[in-house]
Amino acid sequence: MSVTESFLSRLSQKLKAFYLDQQGVYGVMTALLLLPLIILVAFTVETTGILLDKTRLSQATDQAALLLTAENNEFRAKKDHSDLMRQNLTAQEKALPADKQFSTRVAKRNQELVQDTVKLYLRSYGEGANAPITITKDFTAFCEPLSKSVKSEGGVICSVQGDVRRKNDFNIINEWVKSPDSRLPVNSGVSYAVKQSSGVPMEVMLVSDFSGSMNEDLRNGNSKPSKAEVLKQVVDEVSTVILTGAKAGYNRMGFTLFNAGSRQWNDKHCQIPILPKTGEAEKKISYEVPLLEWSENPNKEFVKAMAKKHGRQDDYFHDCKEEHQKRGDREIVVHTCKAEDTREEAIKILIEEWKFDTATEMIKNDYIDIQKTINQIDGFDGKLRKYGIVLDIPHGDTITYTCPGKANETSTVTTQAWFEGENGQKALVDELNAMLPNNWTNASSGMLMATNAMVAEDPAYRAKLNQIGKNSKKVMIVLSDGYDNFPYGGAFVDFEKKGMCTKIKDRLNKLQDPNYQKQDTRLAFIAISYDPAANGNDSIYHAWKRCVDDYYYVVRNKQQLLDAFGEILGIQEELGTTSSQKIKRK
């Protein structure tokens, strides 16, 4: 083999070996594909980020629309709230008419809510070139009433839509979209939210126990605040919501206070609204009554003075026996005397002289006609009614608090209605704050007096309801911190069994105008710091449950009391709902 042939053979082998050798091929291929791969990864990461941010932006505008329905600036009752009034107006805007200034503030507040929500969702807390997003123009953000009548009683619809400018992390995207500010526009799409409201006006009558135990605290001790004070605080908060808040509308509120007795609407006379059996009230009887002389030295003229106080002859109380007793840290003389009178007058004197046990026994066994007392509800018309047991006599320099009242007043109006609007709310709270608890408990009395007050004709209020084509919902909320012991122990059970609660509902329901949707009367009961079902008193528990159905509550602190009011009146904050479709107005 020649030299030339040998060289060519070796070269051929080397070339064949090189051709067959695959080492480094993938390195070369990777190097060739590296740039396209980098571009693909960058594009994938950036577009994924864009899609994620678009989703977040859509979620943000959904939540912003809900915020607008919650704040409801255009249609809320109290329009001058701080978040709205702190919006700065330019000198030109301040020169606008008042209604234009208001709408300008609303627009600014809407933008504040929307843009802050968007920045929060997109984690864009800074400003300037490094901010993840920028907002270069206002979002579309407005609300309108759900009702085509341009009234907000039925609820509101809010719409939100807008763009953000998203910062891109790879310049290749900028080259592709030719963005002048290195940002990509991202649109949220339209978000809708609606918050519907029943818009039913409420007439709320608070029927509250103001017996002596309401001076105790919520643990039935002697610390502060007392149950009465906590109740007053809660009524202040609740009345603010239903009389001045976004739910105010045509709502109104009143109260009837009770202990052993109660008062008719706008009447100062303390009474027990029960009716007697035929012939029993005027029947002559003999009875005994203790007269308490708050001194350890008996006064020979004391018994005569007591007779004069009750409008009787000097010898009305006779055959008296004296007994020295100690009441607290004082020595007193108890004159147990005999007297003759009609049963009704005897009952009144026994009550006024604090001989409640004898008075309640006489009422239960000989005086009260429960069915007649309940049947009177059918004839309630809001006018003053005549009752036999009227209690108004002061004891010397002190007051007989047989009914609730104000300090050092012989008589007070403790059934009052109706309070409306901001001024009414303040008046309601002022009147209630002045009342002092005392004496025993008679929820039935309060419910009867309250019912008569609620049926009183009010043409002006009815005309308002006619304007919006609705009936009002009448709500009676009874509160008590203990078992009824007047007109006798356990009387409420007997009243309920004879149909008192049903009669009350039926009488109030008759006030509904048949031309509009019916709103059934609601009765509710709140037991404050006691449980009617405890200690074997199942009959009382079942009576209240039959009376109020599901609106029965046992509360032991202020928050529970607030929650009970909230459920009864439906004043918990209503949440709107979002929609991707435009909501049709009704």
Judged against a pLDDT cut of 80, whether residue 38 lies above it is answered with no
Which pLDDT value is given to residue 226?
96
Mean pLDDT of 161-170: 82
Query: Are both 515 and 496 inside the same structural domain?
Result: yes
Which tokens go with 417?
């209605």
Give the pLDDT band of residue 12 (cuts 50, 70, 90): confident
Mean pLDDT of 328-336: 91
What type of residue is 242? I
Mean pLDDT is lowest, of 202-206, 241-245, 493-497, for 241-245
Q: Rg for the chain (alpha carbons), in Å?
A: 39
Q: What is the mean pLDDT of the chain?
A: 86
Which pLDDT value is given to residue 136?
87
Specify whether the backbone of 267 is left (phi greater than 0), alpha (psi in -120 to 50) or beta: beta
Judged against a pLDDT cut of 90, whether residue 392 lies above it is answered with no
Judged against a pLDDT cut of 60, whether residue 393 lies above it is answered with no
203, β-bridge pairs: 252, 474
Mean pLDDT is lowest, of 62-71, 466-475, 537-546, for 62-71
**Residue of 116, 63, 109, 101 lying closest to 83 (CA atoms):** 109
Give φ, ψ of 199 to 5 degrees: 65, 20
Which pLDDT value is given to residue 232?
97
Give φ, ψ of 492 to 5 degrees: -60, -35
Give the pLDDT band of residue 396 (cuts 50, 70, 90): very low
Query: Are both 470 and 514 inside the same structural domain?
Result: yes
What letter does residue 249 receive in the DSSP assignment? T
Give the pLDDT band of residue 575 (cuts 50, 70, 90): low
Judged against a pLDDT cut of 80, whether residue 7 lies above it is answered with no
Cα–Cα distance measured from residue 417 to residue 166, given in angstroms and rounded to the nearest whole number: 59
Give the pLDDT band of residue 184 (cuts 50, 70, 90): confident
Last residue of a domain, one of 169, 196, 223: 196
Residue 260 lies in a domain: yes
Query: Are both 247 and 384 inside the same structural domain?
Result: yes
Q: Which residues contact 576 (CB under 8 A, 6 or more apart)?
A: 65, 66, 69, 70, 158, 193, 194, 195
Judged against a pLDDT cut of 70, whether residue 215 lies above it is answered with yes
State percent of the chain over pLDDT 90. 59
Give the pLDDT band of residue 397 (cuts 50, 70, 90): very low
Mean pLDDT of 481-489: 93
Residue 544 lies in a domain: no
Give the pLDDT band of residue 395 (cuts 50, 70, 90): very low
Query: Are both 508 and 567 inside the same structural domain?
Result: yes
> What residue has token string 């997109």?
122
Mean pLDDT of 57-77: 83
Q: Which residues contact 227 (CB under 8 A, 6 or more apart)?
A: 213, 214, 215, 216, 217, 218, 481, 528, 529
- Domain of 180 in residue numbering reads as 36-196
Which tokens go with 100?
């234009």
Query: Are both 132 and 223 inside the same structural domain?
Result: no
Which pLDDT value is given to residue 510?
97
Residue 10 lies in a domain: no
Which pLDDT value is given to residue 122?
85
Q: For the segment 251-306, what is each residue's pLDDT rounded down to a tens digit?
A: 999 999 999 999 999 898 899 999 999 999 999 999 999 999 988 888 889 999 99
Cα–Cα distance measured from residue 36 to residue 39, given in angstroms and rounded to the nearest whole number: 5
Residue 250 lies in a domain: yes
Are the CB atoms for 114 and 141 separated by under 8 Å? yes
Which pLDDT value is given to residue 54?
85
End-to-end CA distance of the chain: 107
Query: Are both 312 and 415 inside the same structural domain?
Result: no
> What residue has token string 């039926």?
506
Residue 347 lies in a domain: yes
Which pLDDT value is given to residue 249?
80
Asked if the peptide bond before residue 404 counts as cis, ω within 30 degrees of 0, the response is no
Mean pLDDT of 417-422: 95
Query: Are both 259 and 395 inside the same structural domain?
Result: yes
Cα–Cα distance measured from residue 333 to residue 290, given in angstroms and rounded to the nearest whole number: 10
Give the pLDDT band of residue 106 (cuts 50, 70, 90): very high
Mean pLDDT of 146-150: 61
Residue 53 lies in a domain: yes
Judged against a pLDDT cut of 70, whether residue 159 lies above it is answered with yes
Q: For the segment 541-561, what is each residue's pLDDT rounded down to a tens digit?
A: 999 999 999 899 999 999 999
Query: Are both 269 and 400 inside the same structural domain?
Result: yes
Number of structural domains (the chain) is: 3
Query: Are both 107 and 131 inside the same structural domain?
Result: yes
Give the pLDDT band of residue 25 (cuts 50, 70, 90): low
